[in-house]
A and B are shown apart, each in its own frame.
Chain A
Amino acid sequence: MNYIEIALLGLLIISGIAASVSRNLMVSLIIFMAYSVIMSVIWAFLRAPDLAITEAAVGAGISSVLMFITLKKLRDINRGFSAKQEEGSAYEEETETP
């Protein structure tokens, strides 16, 4: 085990903890992407290039994109809700019907 691998494993642990304790969801998503990239480099060091490619494409790419979209939708929902709350009873009328 050389120094690069030890440094990568340390970064992996740090980013794993940071992703779970960071208060802002956007920041924790970006840290999670970094986690996936570090993990894919570690897979390459462990002589599993198949897994490295898949981790880089799925973990850092597609799942992060899907989570970003989900975060954006969540914010849209909240924004719409607060806008309607300021307007007054518009929200009540909409959701009152079963």
Chain B
Amino acid sequence: MKKKQKLRDFLREWDEGNFDFSYKTAEKQLKKRPDEPDSAGRNEAASPVISAAQSEERLFRRLVPVFTGIFLFAVIGFLLYVVTKMPAFGSAETPANTSEVIRRYLQSGLTETGAVNAVAGIILDYRAFDTLGESHVLFTATIAVLILMLLGKEEDEPADELRILHQDLILRNTAKISVPFLFVFGIYIILNGHLGPGGGFSGGAVIGGALILYSTAFSAQNLKKILNLRSYRIIVIAALSFYSIAKCYSFFCGANGLETIFTPGTPGRIFSAGLILPLNAAVGLVVACTMYGFYSVFTRGRI
């Protein structure tokens, strides 16, 4: 009970920006304290043990900034020293240019994966197993957040002042113009992931941002018709299952030397690079839904 109040006091002071980490306020508090008698009625300053503890605390609070400064400058100096030992940006001695793995990826990546964008070829073909794990980490984190946030009782009304934003003229008109372009840009990044910069994660983040902007500017009730908890579950689980099954098939065929139905195709075409395009789409769906789900759970307590 008392601890809770103390925590709230601390949070309020911190939020209002007048929390002082320096030793001056602590000294003020320490000076103030001896005048007040404690619950037993005796004066604290009379006890020599407590005053010794006070002076120790004062010394500690004075030394904290000094040691922080020494530690910070030591770390900064060490990092700057390491930077001077590194090869210059773009020079021939960088690990990216001397590594055998990178050379192999750059030389035969185009013919083996069919992806013009070498990064997409690496993360979704050579290293697709890592990306699968990353998607599942994101999924697990979302499930944990949803469990924590959906524990409370359900509110029927969307929470408080965010509804006032729905009447904001500037926000509404800006969103009306920019949301379609954001959606198209996100879809372009996802579908063009094997041909140029981009991919599932960045495209999904752009689409998630567009969904957040839409639900802030207009009511989230409109969005609920197509994106609620049920459809969120279906989309995410279907995308991750598709990813797992497709990669299992690809690994099985590749390990046993069988012909797969996913061929590299002609590099540069939109329907090329085998599995990379559908995998990008699956990752993009998961990321977009997760971003919007986080936002929705944070503001309203539910999707």
B-binding residues in A (CB < 8 A): 23-25, 46, 49-50, 52-54, 57-58, 61-62, 65-66, 69-78, 81-82, 95-96
Contacts and interface: CB of A to CB of B under 8 A. Distances in A.
A66 B197 contact: no
A46 B96 CA distance: 14
27 contacts: A25-B17, A46-B89, A49-B196, A49-B197, A50-B202, A52-B197, A53-B197, A54-B202, A57-B202, A57-B208, A58-B202, A58-B205, A61-B212, A62-B212, A65-B209, A65-B212, A65-B295, A66-B295, A66-B298, A69-B299, A71-B15, A72-B161, A73-B298, A74-B11, A75-B15, A76-B160, A78-B12
Contacts of A95: 1, 4
Contacts of A75: 15
B302 to A, nearest CB: 14
Given A57-B209, A96-B1, 11 more contacts: A23-B17, A49-B197, A50-B197, A50-B199, A53-B198, A54-B202, A54-B205, A58-B205, A61-B209, A65-B295, A78-B11
A69 B198 contact: no
B128 interface: no
The 4 closest A-B pairs by CB, nearest first: A49-B197, A57-B205, A23-B17, A54-B202
Nearest to B8: A81
Contacts of B209: 57, 61-62, 65
Contacts of B291: 62
Contact of B11 (A49, A52, A77): A77
Given A62-B212, A66-B298, A77 B17 contact: no
B15 A78 contact: yes
B8 A78 contact: yes
A24 B295 contact: no
A50 B15 contact: no
Nearest to A1: B89
Contacts of A50: 119, 197-199, 202
B271 interface: no
A81 B12 CA distance: 9
A47 B263 CA distance: 29
B303 interface: no
